[in-house]
Structure formats: C-alpha cells, structure tokens
Amino acid sequence: MFVNEEPGMETSLYAMKMKTRKQIIVIGGGFAGLKVARCLNNTSYDVLLIDKVNHHQFQPLFYQVATAGLEPSNISFPLRGIFHHSKNVRIRLAEVQKILPAENKIITTDGDYSFDYLILAAGAATNFFGNKNIEQFALPMKSTSDAIEIRQRILKNFEKALTAPPEEVPALLNIVIVGGGPTGVELAGALAEMKKHVLWKDYPEVDFSKMHIMLIEGSPRTLGAMSEVASAKSKQYLEEMGVEVWTKTTLTDYDGHNATLSDGRMVATKNLIWAAGIRGNVIDGLNAELIQRGNRIIVDRFNRVKGYENIFAIGDLAYMVTPKYPNAHPQVANVAINQAKVLCENLKRPAIVVGEGTNNGWSEFEYHDKGSLATVGKHKAVVDLPYIKFQGFFAWFVWMGLHLLLLMGMKNRLFVFINWVTSYFSNNSTLRLIFKRNT
C-alpha cells in the first residue's frame, strides 16, 4: 500500500481500497517518469509518483532561464496540477533513500512505501568525473534551480564589475562553458547574443570588449553526437558570434577564480558553467554489479532490471544493449519518452511477465531515432533528420516549433511564445532580475 507503514497508524478507506489493486511506484517526474504516470492514469493500477521537487522541469530550455530569456515558471509545471482529475495517480514530495527488493518496499524521507511494481525514472545528475574542486566551484545546469543560480551569479558579477579594481574585472566578466554538446552550444550562443544586444546597454560603464565567452570541448568537435555538417556549422555560428571555441581541450582544475586547461592555459573567471557530463541517479539497494558506465542500470529489452522480476528502469538510468545500440541508447528525452510508452503499454496488457528472461506477450523496446537538433542563436540552428540535414533560419524555426509543442501546458506555451516574439523584435528581455533574501 502507499501509506506510510508506521505502527499504530489507522488505515484509511483509501488505503484499504488500494490494497485490492496492484501498486506501481514511479520514482522521478522527468520526461520518462511523467510519461509513464500519465499513460497509466485512470487504469486498473494505483500509481504513486515520487519526486524531490513538486514540478516537471523542461530541461531543453534551462539555458534560456540561465540567460534571462524565460521565467522559471514558463518551463515548469506542477505535478499535482497534471493529475487533478486522476482516480489512481497520487504524488509524494520526497527523496528515495533505499530500495528493499526482497520486501518490495522503498525507504524515503517521507516514510516507507510498498509496491508490486517499481519504475526507476530518477534521471541523471551532473558528472564531475571525480574532480572535487570543479564540483565545489563550478556551476552545473541540471535543474531549474541550477539555471536560476547561473543567472544570479552572472548578473551579480556584472554588478561587481562596475566598482571592482581593474585587475579583477576580467574574471568577473569572462564566462567559461565546459562541454560542447547541445546544452553548452545553446548556452554559449545565448550569452553571445546577450553580450551583443543587451549588456552594453545595461552596463554602459563596463568595457565588454574585455568579456570573453569560451566554450571548452574535449573531443575534436562540438555537437559530437550529430552529423559532421551540423557540428561544423555550429562551430562556425559560434565563432561568428564571438564565442571562442576550444576543441580537443579539457578543464583540469578550477579554484573559483582560475580555470586550468589541459594545454596549460589558465583563464581568469568567476563564471564557470559545467555542462560536460551526466551520471545516473542510482538509488541504493540494487545489486552493485548491475551498475555500468555512467552510473546506469542494466535492463533487458522490456526495461526490466536484470535479476529482478518487478523492478524497471527507464530513461537516463537504463543501460539497454540492443543490436542497433551495442553501447546502450543515448541519454536524450526521446529515448526516455518512448521507453516509458512501451513499458506502460506492456503493463496494461493482461499477460504479466513472470520470471527473468520471459516476455509472455510483452513488446520489446526498439528505438527509432527521429533525428536531433540544436539552436545557436537567432536564425541559427542545425537539424539532423534521418533523410535530410539542414541549417539556418528554417532549422531555427523547426527548433522553436518543436519545443513549443513539447512544453507542458497551454499557458506555458503561450507565455514562451510571447517571450520569443517580443525578444525577436526587440533583441531584449525584461527578466534580468537579481533576487536576494532581506536580512
């Protein structure tokens, strides 16, 4: 049952009703977890969705919150609001601390919960690859809160640059982004546009010719998961916008003031954003031998965790090997959403999987890559589809349209659209706000 199992607690009528139905616990309200919960809405299962935050976060637009292009509320949606009319989905705001597979139970900061089926969709966190200094001083961007913190830090440092001694100004203005994937590329492009169109108006006393935006990528090219054409074009766009792109270069250390690079260079910066890697949010309690590269959990073609009959992992957590993907699937939203769909449809079928290695009528997951895309700036984007690749204005238009469609809630879509239209014509936004608690 989904009630806290504390001695002496009275069992409510709701809890008694739930005992008669199969209980599914979904951990995580990201793309995968939310999709499977919505798919199981108003079915014969009782579903409990657990997350550390009370809202779904639209990760592809974190960078626009970080650069004051969108309000945090525009890309977030309350989980409870999604299930207002649900008869079987309930929400708990808690952190899962441990799984007890033998007891079909999980331990959380809100108490213990029992399950018939457990779906792990906790997503991934920032991977600092063991560098404690970078972990301590760099700015990650894996949540809406992280994006707000980046915005606050950068804007505060611009304010400090007004009165700082000349020798300290470069560190306050310089921005270093580590990681040349879509997050790093899109963030670098947005900051370059901010520098060109906005900052010199906000801070006329500051010489922004001394501000450098640097993108550091360890591999030979940006957007390494996309085509060579898209990669080359993204680098060209960034350099035309004034971003310094350093490939085949890694960050070896950062003390909060100076970034040390693998080629020996040192960059003075108090604004270092880490977008270089992720690792799965594995919860204690599963067989440690199942944890693979990137902190991902081995699953079969039904997303069932190896060695467990009733525990599943989907999305960024799942390490599924298939003939098409011998090194597991990419950790992208489309994989997470489609794994959630297939698992949900399997769970809704009357035939239930019994015993590891059996399917009993279930469908195996097969990922069909529909393409990838990234934006760099106004009229600048790259799109790779299975049969066509294109860049420029039309690619930028496609990127905007797709992200509007994927946003949760008509209100959010409307507000984002209005913001984008306003920014398109004005090259400006009114969201460069610094908040602090009164003392």
Say which DSSP state 73 is in: G
Rounded to an integer, what distance in angstroms lies between the CA atom of residue 137 and that of residue 271? 9
- How far, in Å, are 49, 223, 247 from residue 369 at the CA level? 28, 16, 27
Say if CB 15 and CB 2 are below 8 A apart: yes
Kindly write down the DSSP assignment for every residue of 149-177, as one continuous string: HHHHHHHHHHHHHTTS-GGGHHHHH-EEE
E strands along 349-430, which residues?
Answer: 372-377, 380-384, 389-391
Say which DSSP state 359 is in: -
Say if CB 339 and CB 314 are below 8 A apart: yes
Question: In a 3-state reduction of DSSP, which class is residue 63?
Answer: helix
Catalytic-residue membership of 186: yes
Residue type at 81 in one-letter notation: G
Host H or E run for residue 252: strand 251-254
Specify the residue for token string 């999709």: 35
What are the two backbone dihedrals, phi and then psi, of residue 252, each rounded to the nearest 5 degrees? -100, -25
Say if CB 25 and CB 347 are below 8 A apart: no
Could you write out the three-class secondary structure of 196-239?
Answer: HHHHHHHCCCCCHHHCCEEEECCCCCCCCCCCHHHHHHHHHHHH
The H-assigned helical ranges of 212-289 are 228-240
Cα torsion for 117, 123, 129, 130, to the nearest 10°?
-60
Which tokens hold the place of 368? 């069909």
Rounded to an integer, what distance in angstroms lies between the CA atom of residue 270 and that of residue 276? 18
E strands along 264-354, which residues?
Answer: 266-268, 272-274, 278-280, 291-292, 296-298, 311-313, 318-319
Residue type at 104 in one-letter notation: N
Closest to 148 (Cα-Cα) out of 51, 256, 67 = 67
- Cα 362 to its chain centre, rounded Å, is 29
Q: Among residues 186, 193, 240, 309, which one is catalytic?
A: 186
Task: Indicate which residues carry an active-site annotation.
Answer: 186
